[in-house]
């Protein structure tokens, strides 16, 4: 049995930027490529108002390490592994002292955000899908197509999963069998943390976390960043570009980011919690722009699952965010806040923007 395995690491387009001649204390560019959280990351600090670009870069790299240590499901000491290995409580029993699992406060924060995204997306975003992700090999790259019964059984575990979060005391009580993956939200959270460092030092920086981009530094109205959206059909090129204010995350989810092929069919990593199978979406990619990168990340994953119709409705109701939906029909649908859109590939057509 020969299985073709393909992993595509998303390079979310190109970014061009223009600087004004502000009073920066350091104008030296400092850049670093690192591999963390299963992704190639690139951080570039262009200038700072406080400290040096090198210092800010080093602080950011250190932060990446701290967050990876908490959320990496494949590292035995991470909080995610602690959660997944914890026995949990049978659903009909009341929790006792040993059912409490104490976690780092950042993990508690991300679990709370995930919970909000779960309810806020009509359950399209669900971190408890780990048993299903394991069946497909999306946890460790050991890909395979599971049989329908196995998917059904794993999905039953997901349906029964629960995590009660005790925010003040920083512990959780989980149900037996609950296993989580923060793959759909952790990089968004990391981006927010890196932006916070940049803001503290008045730094202009560009953070690329494979599919997630963080634009650090607001260059004012006439000096926006230009962001390219990857062409899902040809990931080395762009579908479109647009102009964007700084201090925002731009997060893209798409089937092309990670998938394998088997028996002439392609299976991607974004799972529909209703079926346990890769979402049969009529979208090629979803890009979400906003100040809260954590939620941008959760929403981009969830809207991909929802598909075009529900995603457009969701976009209309969430005017704190901007959205770019690329459909299988080769349409590019944007919300009205996405400005100066330039079509970079004639194979796509720009559709009238969605009013929010």
Residue numbers of the site for ligand AMP (CB under 6 A)? 124-127, 129, 133, 138, 181, 183-184, 211, 253, 257-258, 269-271, 273, 297, 300-301, 305
Nearest CB to ligand AMP, comparing residues 257 and 322: 257
DSSP 205: E
Tokens 């406060």 belong to which residue? 105
Residue closer to Mg ion (CB basis): 239 or 296? 296
- Residue from the set 53, 249, 252, 301 that interacts with Mg ion by CB under 5 A: 301
CB of 300 to ligand AMP, least distance (A): 6
The answer to whether 27 and 56 have CB atoms below 8 angstroms apart is no
CA gap 342, 6 in Å, rounded? 30
* Partner whose binding site includes residue 215, from ligand AMP, Mg ion, none (CB under 5 to 8 Å by kind): none
Quick check: helix, strand or coil at residue 224?
Answer: coil
Comparison of 103 and 286: residue with beta carbon closer to Mg ion: 286
Given Mg ion, ligand AMP, none, residue 71, with its beta carbon under 5 to 8 Å by kind, binds: none
**Using CA of residue 16, residue 315, residue 292, residue 211, what is the dihedral sign?**
negative
Using CA atoms, how far apart are residues 29 and 52, in angstroms rounded to an integer?
9
Beta strand ranges found along the chain (DSSP E): 4-6, 15-16, 30-36, 39-47, 101-102, 163-166, 171-174, 204-208, 212-216, 225-230, 238-244, 248-254, 259-262, 265-268, 283-290, 322-327, 331-335, 339-343, 349-354
Q: How far is the CB of 263 from Mg ion (least distance, A)?
A: 28
Q: Which does 273 bind (CB under 5 to 8 A by kind): ligand AMP, Mg ion, none?
A: ligand AMP
Q: For the chain, how many helices (H) and strands (E)?
A: 8, 19
Listed in sequence order, the DSSP H helices in 72-147 are 79-85, 105-120, 130-136
297 binds Mg ion (CB under 5 A): yes
- The yes or no reply on residue 184 touching Mg ion (CB under 5 A) is yes
The least CB distance from residue 66 to ligand AMP, in Å, is: 20
Cβ at position 175, least distance to ligand AMP in Å:
18
Residue of minimal CB distance from ligand AMP? Answer: 183
Residue 276 CA to residue 180 CA, distance in Å, equals: 14
Closest to ligand AMP by CB, 269 or 318: 269
Task: Give the residue with the Cβ less far from ligand AMP, 53 or 107.
Answer: 107
Rounded distance between C-alpha atoms, residue 322 and residue 326, angstroms? 13
- Exposure string (b/e) for 308-336, b if CB count within 10 Å is 16 or more? beebbebbeebeebbbbbbbeeeebbbbe
Which span sits near Mg ion by CB under 5 A: 180-188, 305-313, 322-330, 331-339? Answer: 180-188
Shortest CB 140 distance to ligand AMP, Å: 11
With tokens 């923007």, the residue in question is 353
Q: In terms of CB distance, is 57 or 296 closer to Mg ion?
A: 296
Task: Give least dist CB 193 to ligand AMP, A.
Answer: 16
Closest distance between ligand AMP and the C-beta of residue 67, in Å?
15
Tokens, residue 332: 């590019």
Q: Which does 125 bind (CB under 5 to 8 A by kind): Mg ion, ligand AMP, none?
A: ligand AMP
Name which of ligand AMP, Mg ion, none residue 127 binds, using a CB cut-off of 5 to 8 Å depending on partner kind. Answer: ligand AMP
Note whether 192 binds Mg ion by CB under 5 A.
no
Rounded to a whole number of angstroms, the minimum distance from the CB of residue 115 to ligand AMP is: 12
C-alpha dihedral (262, 267, 273, 275), degrees to nearest 10: -50
- Which does residue 271 bind out of ligand AMP, Mg ion, none, counting CB within 5 to 8 angstroms by kind? ligand AMP
Residues in touch with Mg ion (CB under 5 A): 184, 297, 300-301
């Amino acid at each position: 049995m020969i299985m073709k395995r393909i992993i595509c690491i998303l390079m979310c387009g190109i970014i061009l930027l223009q600087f004004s001649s502000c009073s920066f204390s350091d104008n030296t560019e400092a850049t670093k490529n690192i591999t963390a959280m299963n992704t190639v990351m690139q951080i570039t600090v262009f200038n700072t108002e406080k400290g040096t670009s090198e210092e800010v870069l080093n602080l950011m790299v250190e932060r990446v390490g701290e967050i990876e240590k908490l959320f990496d499901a494949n590292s035995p000491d991470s909080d995610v592994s602690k959660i997944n290995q914890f026995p949990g409580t049978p659903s009909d029993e009341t929790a006792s002292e040993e059912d409490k699992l104490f976690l780092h406060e950042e993990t508690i924060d991300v679990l709370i955000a995930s919970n909000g995204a779960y309810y806020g997306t009509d359950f399209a975003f669900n971190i408890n899908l780990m048993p299903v992700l394991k069946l497909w090999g999306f946890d460790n790259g050991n890909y395979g197509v599971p049989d329908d019964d196995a998917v059904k059984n794993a999905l039953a575990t997901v349906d029964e999963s629960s995590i009660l979060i005790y925010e003040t005391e920083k512990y959780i009580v989980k149900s037996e069998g609950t296993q989580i993956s923060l793959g759909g939200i952790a990089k968004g959270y990391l981006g927010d943390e890196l932006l916070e460092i940049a803001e503290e030092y008045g730094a202009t920086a560009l953070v690329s976390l494979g599919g997630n981009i963080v634009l650090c530094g607001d260059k004012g109205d006439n000096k926006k960043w230009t962001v390219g959206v990857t062409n899902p059909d040809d990931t080395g090129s762009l579908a479109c570009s647009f102009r964007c204010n700084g201090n925002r995350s731009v997060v893209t989810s798409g089937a092309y980011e990670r998938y394998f092929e088997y028996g002439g069919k392609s299976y991607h990593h974004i799972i529909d919690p209703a079926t346990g199978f890769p979402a049969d979406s009529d979208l090629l990619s979803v890009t979400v722009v906003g100040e809260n990168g954590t939620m941008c990340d959760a929403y981009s994953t969830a809207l991909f699952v929802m598909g075009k119709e529900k995603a457009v409705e969701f976009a209309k109701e969430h005017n704190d965010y901007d959205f770019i939906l690329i459909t299988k029909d080769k349409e590019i649908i944007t919300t009205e806040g996405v400005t100066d859109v330039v079509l970079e590939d004639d194979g796509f057509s720009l559709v009238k923007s969605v009013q929010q």
